[in-house]
Structure 1
Amino acid sequence: MKTLTFEEKHGIQWTAQNQLDDLGFADGLVLLSRTHEQMQIKTASVAAVLKFKTKNSNPITLDDETLEDVESFTYLGSIIDEQGGSDADVKARIDKAKAALLQLKNIWNSKQLSTNIKVTIFNMNVKAVLLYGAEIWRTTTTTIKKVQALINGCLHKILNIHWPDTISNSLLRERINQLPAEEEIRKRRWKWIGHTLRKSSNCITRQALTWNPEGRLESGRPKNTLRREIKADMERMNNNWKELERIAQDRVGWRMLMSGLCSFAKSNRRKEGRNFK
Structure 2
Amino acid sequence: MYLEPVSETTVHRGQEQWRSIRTLGSLFGTAQDVTRRIGLSAVAFGRMKAIWFRRQHLQTNTMVRLYNAYVLPILTYNIGCAGLSKALEDSLDKIHRKQLRHMLGIFYPRVVSNDDLYELAHTEPISAMAKRARWRLLGHILRQPSSTPGNQAMIAYASMEDAVRHRRGAPRSCLVTTLQQDVKFTAVALKTSRNLETLRSCAVDRQKWSNICSAVV
Alignment pair present for 1:93 and 2:37:
yes
Aligned mates of 1:74, 1:200 — CA distance in 2: 27
Alignment pair present for 1:78 and 2:22:
no
The structure 2 residue matched to 1:225, chosen from 148, 171, 174, is: 174
SS of the equivalent of 1:157 reads: helix
Greater share of helix: 2
For residues 146 and 253 of structure 1, do their structure 2 counterparts lie closer, same or farther at Cα, with a shift above 3 Å needed?
A: same
Aligned mates of 2:128, 2:38 — CA distance in 1: 18
SS of the equivalent of 2:98 reads: helix
Alignment pair present for 1:247 and 2:202:
yes
Structure 2 residue identity aligned to 1:257: I
For residue 249 of structure 1, report the CA deviation from its aligned partner. 2.4
The structure 1 residue matched to 2:97, chosen from 152, 156, 163, is: 152
Aligned mates of 1:129, 1:253 — CA distance in 2: 32
Structure 1 unaligned spans of 5+: 1-53, 57-68, 263-277
Aligned mates of 2:178, 2:48 — CA distance in 1: 35
1:195-254 deviations in Å (ceiling 9; x for gaps): 111212211122223322879898533333321221233443312322322232233433
Alignment pair present for 1:137 and 2:82:
yes
Structure 2 residue identity aligned to 1:248: A
1:25-78 deviations in Å (ceiling 9; x for gaps): xxxxxxxxxxxxxxxxxxxxxxxxxxxxx959xxxxxxxxxxxx9452211111
TM value normalised by structure 1 = 0.61
Aligned equivalent of 1:171: 116
Greater share of strand: 1
Instruction: State which structure, 1 or 2, has the greater radius of gyration over its C-alpha atoms.
Output: 1
Structure 2 unaligned spans of 5+: 1-6, 10-15, 189-194
Aligned mates of 1:238, 1:124 — CA distance in 2: 37
Task: Give the number of the structure with larger relative contact order, counting CA–CA contacts within 8 Å between residues 6 or more apart.
Answer: 2
Number of aligned residues: 193
